[in-house]
A and B are shown apart, each in its own frame.
Chain A
């Protein structure tokens, strides 16, 4: 059995290593989703929350959940914008096109003040909110997902670059920049995801 038969995406011009990496990525994401589902079932049960009249209860968002949602929205938008810039300028131009590089930096760094504004506005919705024991438990647990996400991003870069530049024996200097920016974004996104998953877990 060939690799193309195992992973059909390989037929679309992807190398064996990229196909394996994609399969690995999907396997890890699938495992995380399964783990979260089983943990939630174990700790909270899988029946819907119902009131005395049998109506489904919608849980009000906590301050941390609102902030995490904003972080996820802003982080995802920044990530998509950066991918969009790469597609419109062409990835190969990153080395010598200053405008492209500056645009990417501006998107990545511009997300920080935007997130801070959302952070403050979300806090104003809950003027007297103090974190309770569940909030604290979630905050302590969220970095688990963050570490997993960042490790995963770094492993993906390391495997991808090593395999792509194996024959040349060196990696172009632009990549450390991209590794830093992507790890920063993945860190922000996976922490927000950790918070949101945490509230379903605890």
Chain B
């Protein structure tokens, strides 16, 4: 239970949205660029509020941007 990983498509979505920079996304989502980098690297799990804000920026639902992955589902 504790080892679940939240995967996301933020990096791809940024490029699909006019090559939005990490700083632009951070400013729009109300977080720091460091947080965006860590999110893209899947080293940080966002709060629900931040996940909703990011999804809204891309015009997507939270499930389209983030997905919950159980350990073992990607072969580890």
Contact = CB atoms under 8 A, between A and B. Distances in A.
B30 A130 contact: yes
B34 interface: yes
Interface residues of A, number: 17
A80 B46 CA distance: 40
A44 B31 contact: no
A133 B46 CA distance: 8
B32 A49 contact: no
Contact of A49 (B27, B43, B46): B43
A134 interface: yes
Contact of A60 (B31, B34, B46): B34
Nearest to A48: B41
Contacts of A60: 32-34, 37
Interface in A61-81: 61-62
Contacts, number: 43
Give the one of A44, A57, A130, A134 with max B CB within 10 A.
A134
B37 A57 contact: yes
A132 B31 contact: yes
Given A44-B43, A57-B41, A134-B44, A62 B34 contact: yes
Contact of B27 (A44, A45, A128, A202): A128
A62 B32 contact: yes
A132 B41 contact: no
Nearest to B27: A128
Contacts of A44: 38, 43-44
A128 B28 CA distance: 12
A49 B33 CA distance: 14
Contacts of B38: 44, 49, 59, 134
B50 interface: yes
Nearest to A50: B41
Given A49-B43, A134-B35, 16 more contacts: A49-B41, A57-B37, A59-B38, A60-B33, A60-B34, A60-B37, A61-B34, A132-B31, A132-B32, A133-B46, A133-B49, A134-B31, A134-B34, A134-B38, A135-B32, A199-B34
